[in-house]
Amino acid sequence: MALATELHLQFHAGATVAVVALGFYFHLARWEWALVALAVGAVWSAELLNTAVEAIVDLVSPQYHPLAGRAKDIAAGAVLVVALGALVVGGLIFGPRLWALWVGF
């Protein structure tokens, strides 16, 4: 249900498909797949938790409250931190391969 309604989850779904496709294209080693799977799982988990926090905050605080906004901002910040970590993992695993592919053209 969350995937159907949450734009950020749809973005993560597209990114997941792209990463998996790149992984097959570059024939990742098993340990590389493990790191990619952990990174993808961490991002999805963080985004789902963020979505849950936002829903709960909206339920208990329908009007604006500074603490409600703070809770949402912190949850979104957690997603950003995890996504940046996943980006680093992706850069370390795919970066050299993509660079070699780019230079080869």
Q: How many structural domains does the chain have?
A: 1
CATH number of residue 38's parent domain:
1.10.287.3610
3-class DSSP state for residue 103?
A: helix
Tokens standing for 62? Answer: 């329908």
Tokens at 56, concatenated: 């709960």
Q: Which residue has the higher pLDDT, 39 or 7?
A: 39
54 in active site: no
Q: Which of 6, 32, 47, 54 is catalytic?
A: 47
Residue 5: which pLDDT band, with cuts at 50, 70 and 90? confident
**What range defines the domain where residue 83 resides?**
2-104
**15 Cβ neighbours under 8 A, 6+ residues apart:** none
Amino acid at 12: H
Instruction: Find, among 70, 68, 43, the residue nearest to 58 by Cα.
Output: 68
105 has pLDDT over 80: no
- Given a cut of 80, whether residue 1 has pLDDT beyond it is no
